[in-house]
């Protein structure tokens, strides 16, 4: 599993986005052989799940919110904080564009300071390269329409779902997830595992507010599950759902 802290610890290889989200990604290739761009428009993401050491949660949140900007990322990371569900405290989602380079060089001074500061704050973490739609498209799904000044542009409520398929059912699982996403268009980002953690897909579904999330849950509770939802059980080995909130620099951490 790559130790890809802030996408800046480099290993002399180039990782490029796969031809399409429905195809099996190619492994990392040497820089001399790697294509300069992915032709399909798919892009790379770094998905970082982290759990705080006892008593270190608020300090860890502050460190991640004020972490140095990754020079390979076109935008600051999206940081989600666990409210209820799986065994993690923060999800840090970092867009990387169509290509990310790893080299064996020392981190910059500000990155080294971050790594030193957070070393004793983390109980565990896992890191995964994933592929998904271009950031220009994905940011609207996870941040809302910032230009319109929506409430979700500075916060929001999220459902983070991690999926692992039964052996031989990966393509079928992807198809079901995309059908489910189509039930609420413009709300769900789907990322496909490329290399790293023990999952194959992660979906991030965004709601502008707790009221909007409650309305969606009430609607689902009053309906008979559709064919796509029922089909999930035919292809899943396991999945985990977590309700989370987005953390912004303007919003100080709340007590647990």
Query: Does residue 245 sit within a domain?
Result: yes
What is d(CA 21, CA 90) in angstroms, rounded to the nearest whole number?
A: 25
What is d(CA 123, CA 120) in angstroms, rounded to the nearest whole number?
A: 8
Domains contained in the chain, number: 1
Q: What is the pLDDT of residue 61?
A: 96
Span 204-232, pLDDT tens digits: 999 999 999 999 888 877 776 777 778 88
Of the candidates 48, 60, 79, 61, the one whose C-alpha atom is nearest the C-alpha of residue 120 is 60
The pTM of this model reads 0.80
Compare 241 and 10 and report the one with higher pLDDT. 241
Span 87-143, pLDDT tens digits: 999 999 999 999 988 888 888 899 899 999 999 999 999 999 999 999 999 999 999
Give the model's confidence band at 18: pLDDT under 50 very low, under 70 low, under 90 confident, else very high.
very low
Query: Does residue 236 sit within a domain?
Result: yes
Q: What is the pLDDT of residue 251?
A: 52
Residue 96 belongs to what domain range? 1-13+40-256
Query: Does residue 69 sit within a domain?
Result: yes
Query: Does residue 21 sit within a domain?
Result: no
Q: Residue 109's domain is classified under what CATH number?
A: 3.30.70
Query: Does residue 135 sit within a domain?
Result: yes
Query: Does residue 187 sit within a domain?
Result: yes
Query: Does residue 20 sit within a domain?
Result: no
Query: Does residue 204 sit within a domain?
Result: yes
What is d(CA 256, CA 248) in angstroms, rounded to the nearest whole number?
A: 17
Q: Coil, strand, or helix at residue 102? A: strand
Span 154-209, pLDDT tens digits: 578 999 999 999 999 999 999 999 888 887 788 999 999 999 999 999 999 999 99
């Amino acid at each position: 599993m790559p130790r890809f802290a802030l996408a800046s610890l480099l290993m002399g290889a180039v990782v490029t986005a796969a031809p399409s989200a429905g195809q099996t990604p190619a492994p990392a290739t040497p820089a001399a052989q790697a294509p300069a761009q992915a032709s399909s428009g798919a892009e790379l993401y770094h998905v970082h799940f982290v759990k705080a050491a006892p008593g270190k949660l608020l300090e860890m949140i502050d460190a991640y919110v004020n972490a140095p900007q990754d020079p390979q990322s076109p935008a600051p990371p999206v940081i989600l904080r666990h409210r209820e569900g799986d065994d993690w405290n923060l999800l840090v989602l970092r867009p990387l564009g169509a290509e990310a380079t790893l080299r064996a060089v020392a981190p910059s001074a500000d990155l080294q300071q971050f790594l030193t500061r957070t070393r004793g704050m983390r109980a565990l973490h896992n890191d995964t390269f994933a592929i998904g739609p271009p950031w220009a498209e994905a940011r609207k799904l996870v941040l809302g329409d910032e230009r319109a000044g929506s409430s979700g542009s500075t916060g929001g409520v999220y459902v983070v779902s991690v999926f692992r398929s039964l052996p031989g059912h990966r393509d079928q699982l992807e198809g079901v997830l995309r059908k489910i996403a189509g039930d609420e268009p413009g709300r769900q980002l789907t990322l496909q595992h490329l290399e790293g953690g023990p999952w194959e897909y992660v979906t991030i579904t965004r709601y502008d507010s707790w009221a909007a999330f409650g309305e969606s849950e009430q609607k689902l509770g009053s309906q008979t599950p559709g064919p796509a939802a029922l089909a999930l059980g035919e292809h899943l080995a396991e999945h985990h759902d977590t309700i989370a909130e987005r953390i912004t620099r303007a919003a100080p951490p709340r007590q647990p």
